[in-house]
Amino acid sequence: MRWNKFRLKTTTEAEDLVSSMLMDLGIEGVEIEDKVPLTQADKEQMFVDILPQIESDDGIAYLSFYLEEEVDKEEMLAKVRDEFEAMRAYANVGEGTIEESQTEDLDWVNNWKQYFHQFYVDDILIIPSWEEVKPEDEDKMIIHIDPGTAFGTGMHETTQLCIRQLKKHVTKETRILDVGCGSGILGMLALKFGAAYSVGTDLDPCAIDATYENMEVNGITRDQYEVMIGNIIDDKEVQDKVGYDKYDIVVANILADVLVPLTPVILNQLKKGGIYITSGIIDDKEDTVVEAVKAAGLEVLEVTYQGEWVSVTARKNF
């Protein structure tokens, strides 16, 4: 099916009012584009590899909405323009121009797969679930991964930095906690390296399903791991469920702005002698994370780099 797409130019201060107006007219699923800076709360909800680079707020917002081909677009657009003009009496709604284009009804969840192919991280072959293992690779350590709508294919530098640190520190007694587990790839690799047990937490329900599916396809059984939803930074219930003084390794491949408040909290989960592996750190945030780690009383063991990304590995000595 083809859809008519309309992109309405307004102001950031009026975007909520204009969105409400569009919904009142029967238009659903409005997309908002603006340059409003992320709040600290927004950042703490983004357990992802890369923080979006957002320019300074210019006061402009674009609201996109879609109409099916059979809808009388001229009639609907006339209503939108009339309501928009009426709003000028009490709000700074801005320009009000509308750009029109057409788009196909695509399978956005699966369409990205054409860009994800098998690759190596050192001697580990990571292969999407829809590709076949070549005969010459059958003797390698092979990880089948399908992130679905969760983050974490292993392709990003931050994930690879964590993988190398896990390979260095995992033993057969290791209990690992992965904060912001995404697709489950780090916990899964720790188990493949010989760890005894893995616990993952994430804010995104999609991460739970993705982790279950990826663990199963890699032959890892439910008695070897668990995953749970919640923010360990400020949710006591999640902290209690995860447990205290019981992890040999905590890994957090998230963002510097999340690592800073996470670090003093995660001390409670680490055993004495436990290893804390962090990444998701853009190079100009290295000092921020190192200072937070030291302020928490941890000993910095190693700082490693790949591209413009940094991983900080530390130990709890108390």
* Best-predicted range by mean pLDDT (146-150, 156-160, 231-235): 231-235
For residues 70 and 317, what is the distance between their CA atoms, to the nearest angstrom? 67
**Whole-number pLDDT of residue 62:** 95
Annotated binding site for S-adenosyl-L-methionine, which residues?
159, 180, 202, 253
For 35, the token pair is: 């340059």
The answer on pLDDT for 272 being more than 60 is yes
pLDDT bracket for residue 26 (50, 70, 90):
confident
The answer on pLDDT for 250 being more than 50 is yes
Q: Looking at per-residue confidence, does 29 or 32 come out higher?
A: 32
Q: What is the CA radius of gyration of the chain?
A: 23
CA 69 to chain centre: 35
pLDDT bracket for residue 149 (50, 70, 90):
very low
**Whole-number pLDDT of residue 24:** 84
Residue with tokens 């780099």: 305
Q: What global pTM score does this model have?
A: 0.69
pLDDT bracket for residue 47 (50, 70, 90):
very low
Q: Which domains does the chain have, with CATH numbers?
A: 2-105 (3.30.70.120), 150-315 (3.40.50.150)
Mean residue pLDDT across the chain = 88
The answer on pLDDT for 316 being more than 90 is yes
- φ/ψ of 61, rounded to 5, equals -130, 145
* Contact yes or no for 215/240 (Cβ under 8 A): no
pLDDT bracket for residue 20 (50, 70, 90):
confident
CB neighbourhood size of 104 (10 A): 8
pLDDT bracket for residue 34 (50, 70, 90):
confident
Q: What percent of the chain has pLDDT over 90?
A: 60
Annotated binding site, which residues?
159, 180, 202, 253
Q: What is the dihedral of CA 70, 71, 72, 77, to 10 degrees?
A: -140
